[in-house]
Amino acid sequence: MSTAREQIFSSVRAALAPLPERTARPVFSKDVAEPHWLAAEADSLALFQKRAEATGTKCFTDMESCAAWLRSQGVRTVYIPAPLTRLAALCSEFSEVTSEYTRARVNEIDAAFTPAAGAIAESGSIILSDESTPDRLAALAPWHHIALVSRAEIHRTIADALAAMPDDPNLIWVTGPSKTADVEGILIQGVHGPGAQACLIL
């Protein structure tokens, strides 16, 4: 008896065999799907900030204002992974700042900082990867997530980001806070992931 794989491949081949010709792979320029307003945006950093804010991601360029925002949000416990300890020094006013993230504390951490693998200006997206993120849960479970984006790693377009995807089994583009409109089409933020998404541009 043939395997499922063989069966499927043979029916696919049988289905395609009678086609007189097959559609060629379309050739298109990399910018084909760029929105037409993109051309007028010279500065990728400014564009990223504009697009990120438009999709609900708060942008900060210094730690002080970011920490002030978190305080105003009532944040008490903050996770800052080890490589970022110099930021932790700026977070003295929180009741707890930890560099340890464990499953047991998934619901206790109010805010987490994790380094991003880059960003996309066109869409205001933050790029997360396994390589850059100490723990998948840390960037996802807390209500506040702050991604650290380095200026040099902002891709101008979606196509640029696709062309430069790092070799990582888990890449995520985050465009705004987690949300749903399942109930009567009403927009609610913070379903399973962060209800407040931010980035700190360094």
Residues in contact with other proteins by the rule CB under 8 A: 3-5, 7-9, 11-16, 19, 22-26, 28, 30, 32-33, 35-37, 55, 101, 103, 106-107, 122-123, 125, 130, 134-137, 140-141, 157-159, 162-163, 165, 169-186, 188, 190-194
∠ CA 21-27-33, nearest 5°, is 130
Nearer to other proteins, 91 or 127 (CB): 127
DSSP for residue 32: T
Residue with tokens 């790092």: 166
Task: Pick the closer one to other proteins by CB: 90 or 106.
Answer: 106
In angstroms, give the least distance from the CB of 135 to other proteins: 5
**Of the two residues 86 and 185, which places its CB atom closer to other proteins in the complex?**
185
Query: Measured from the CB atom, is 66 or 123 closer to other proteins?
Result: 123
Quote the least distance from Cβ 110 to other proteins, whole Å. 14
Distance of CA 143 to the CA centre of its chain: 15
Q: How far is the CB of 62 from other proteins (least distance, A)?
A: 26
Shortest Cβ 43–other proteins spacing (Å): 19
Q: For residue 198, how many other CB atoms are within 10 A of its CB?
A: 23
Q: Would you say 191 and 178 are in contact if contact means Cβ atoms under 8 Å apart?
A: yes
Q: Which is nearer to other proteins, 64 or 103 (CB)?
A: 103
Please state the closest distance from residue 123 (CB atom) to other proteins, in A. 5
**What single letter denotes the amino acid at residue 10?**
S
Nearer to other proteins, 7 or 150 (CB): 7
- Smallest distance, other proteins to C-beta of residue 63, A: 25
Burial class (CB in 10 A: 0-12, 13-18, 19+), 187: exposed
Burial class (CB in 10 A: 0-12, 13-18, 19+), 34: middle
Rounded to whole angstroms, the Cα distance separating 55 from 180 reads 14
Q: Of all helices (H) and strands (E), which one includes residue 12?
A: helix 4-16
13 token code pair: 């081949």
